[in-house]
Chains A and B, each alone.
Chain A
Amino acid sequence: MKKRFIYLDNASVTKVDSRVLRAMNIYHTKYYSVPTVEYGHSFGLKSRKALEQAREAIAESINANKDEIIFTSGQTESNNLAIKGFVAMNNTARVITTKIEHESILNVCKDYGNVAYLDVDREGFIKFNSLKRLQEEGAILSIQHANHEIGTVQNIKRIGRFCRKAGITFHVDATQTFMKLDIDVERMNIDLLTISPHLIHGPRGIGALYIRKGVKIKAILSGGYNEFGIRPGLENIPAIVGFRKAVEIFDKKDVSRMFKLRDRLMKNLLEIDNTKLNGPLGKDRLCNNVNISFRYVEGESMLLHLDLRGIIVTTGSSCFSTALKPSHVILGIGGRHEDAHSSVRFSLSKYNDVEDIDYTIKNVNEVVSELRKISM
């Protein structure tokens, strides 16, 4: 029997779709010029056209205007640009966020200092009361659309409406939800939005920040006048073309398929004794995220055992983190250290099928009982 390979770390990065790769390749080998100004040489105009068409398609996908999209190198840069670029223009502005955000927000906030943290409940949802308490005109609120570890989807529409009324600039990191959930910057009152194609089978090393017209953001890098003067550096045309392609080929049907697979995996794994779901159930959970703590099992041990069986996952255990710190998300929702050490995240993609899920269920069962024999 051929050894199975089941990739369930799609909240980290996904396999690039071959159609995306083909679209990108032409811009590596055929139209590789720097994008020139519109009165430049014809070779450079090919790149310029690709850049502007991509900008337009991506803007359209979130109901924005094309000149509100700034290409960056990805999530970390977009998040840095949103917060640092905003406070550079308003240096007394308070930043409001939560303790369960991505590191690229948390560490920017830590350096900045003037930060207030919203409370979240046991499932990771923002407690609205704390937002009412901490609101401050001129502040910037930054939250994820969906949490990267436990898949909690925030009520962006409600929070956006509140921010608009309160005079708060609203930044949303939609890395996990981009294309999977409907995002409409107008309807949701979003002022700044981080997006990236690397979780929808597009390339990595490229991302974008949507900046609502009128919101002042200062460049955080010094260099040439690219991206309307907000992000200097040679435009990464092949990746930008790949970004556009990933958006264009995205199929909503994959989302409902992932929902079904997710629930099948979740339901069966929670039947194992002494397990605990991290994050919510139902439609307020990201369509491809399952995160479970298996008590008496340490995450890294589990990960290596599953790897041996061809299943790729990740864990919130400190033993697996380069910083030797347990997951700040699990701790942030009030979990114990033990819950973090024994947490495993399974994240699906359109390439997974029912066989993958059933094989995973069977093997997780075996590995858990094997490791519990050692620990209990």
Chain B
Amino acid sequence: MYSKKVLKYFFHPKNVGIIKNPTVKVTEGSLACGDMVTLYLKIDKVSRKIVDIKFKSYGCAANIATMSFLTELVKGKTIESVEKLTYKMLEKELGGLPPAKTHCSLLAIKSLKSAIRLYKEKMGEIEYESIDKDFVMSRLRSVIHPAIGKDIVSSGLVAMANISDGKVNIKIRIKEKRFRRIVLEEIKERFCIPQIKKISVEFVDKDEKAKDKD
């Protein structure tokens, strides 16, 4: 059974919604896994505090409760002070989670950590050895196809990817409009770093005939 605190945060979730023009936005998990969360953060450049945070979630009770609790916990704090949070701390604070639900607290922490990392990348605080095709592919490996539940690289959906002079060109094999939209947003988020100046994504049907261009 879920703890009282988990149920409270599940039935009356805090910080649900979206932030228009967020400093960073990140999506983790997938519809196929039955757990997908999107986190929106507004971070103040000077104080480095999370001034606003909101989430959207498609998931079970533990998923909604951990996201709801996490956002409440980190709001108003500096990114440095919340970086050290672990899923165990989150679970402890919530009065425990059933063992089968550990992936929910992991997902919550993962979404926060990737949001912070994205922020640092955006600010140019992270140094890269080289921005090449391998870099592009590694970025694409963290973009999950929502219906398959696996990343677009290992699902064989990347038809082409290259980079020159900070310009990234990607061709993705996805047919369904609604998944194209989600994947496109995800890709754009993942390449929000100063070293990349332009990104163009083209979607093709499975048979590789170009249809839409974004």
Contact = CB atoms under 8 A, between A and B. Distances in A.
B56 A374 contact: yes
6 contacts: A301-B61, A318-B33, A319-B59, A338-B32, A338-B34, A341-B34
Interface in B139-169: 146-147, 149
A337 B13 CA distance: 25
Contact of A304 (B10, B13, B56, B149): B10
Interface string A253-296: 00000000000000000000000000000000000000000001
B61 A304 contact: yes
A320 interface: yes
A22 interface: no
Contacts of B101: 319
B58 interface: yes
Contacts of B146: 338
Contacts of B74: none
B137 interface: no
Contact of B32 (A305, A320, A337): A337
Contacts of A375: 36, 56-59
Contacts of A374: 13, 16, 56-58, 64
B100 A317 contact: no
Counting chain B CB atoms within 10 Å of each CB, the highest count among A297, A304, A318, A375 belongs to: A375
Contacts of B147: 336-338
A118 to B, nearest CB: 26
Nearest to A326: B34
A322 B100 contact: yes
A340 to B, nearest CB: 8
B34 A317 contact: yes
Interface in A293-312: 296-301, 304-305, 308
Contacts of B64: 301, 374
B56 A300 contact: no
B60 interface: yes
A318 B13 contact: no
Interface in A326-351: 326, 336-338, 341
B193 interface: no
Contact of A301 (B10, B16, B31, B149): B10
A286 B205 CA distance: 39
Interface string A240-254: 000000000000000
Given A337-B33, A338-B147, A374-B16, A298 B100 contact: no
Contacts of B34: 298, 317-319, 326, 337-338, 341
Contacts of A376: 56
Nearest to B148: A337
Interface of B: 7, 10-11, 13, 16, 31-36, 56-64, 100-101, 146-147, 149
Contacts of B36: 375
A337 B31 CA distance: 8
A375 B33 CA distance: 14
Nearest to B59: A298
Contacts of B16: 373-374
Given A338-B147, A374-B16, A319 B60 contact: yes
A350 to B, nearest CB: 30
A46 to B, nearest CB: 44
Contacts of A1: none
Contacts of A299: 60
Nearest to B13: A374
B58 A298 contact: yes
Residue from A297, A298, A322 with most neighbouring chain B CB atoms (10 Å): A298
B35 to A, nearest CB: 8
A276 to B, nearest CB: 14
Contacts of A337: 31-34, 147, 149
Most chain-B CB neighbours within 10 Å: which of A301, A304, A322?
A301
A37 interface: no
Nearest to A315: B60
Contacts of B59: 298, 301, 319, 375
Lowest 3 CB-CB distances: which A-B pairs, in order? Answer: A319-B60, A341-B34, A300-B60
Nearest to A323: B100
Contacts of A319: 34-35, 59-60, 62-63, 101
Contacts of A373: 16
A301 B60 contact: yes
A268 B10 CA distance: 27
Contacts of B35: 298, 319
B76 to A, nearest CB: 22
B94 to A, nearest CB: 15
A319 B33 CA distance: 9
Contacts of B13: 374
A324 B62 CA distance: 14
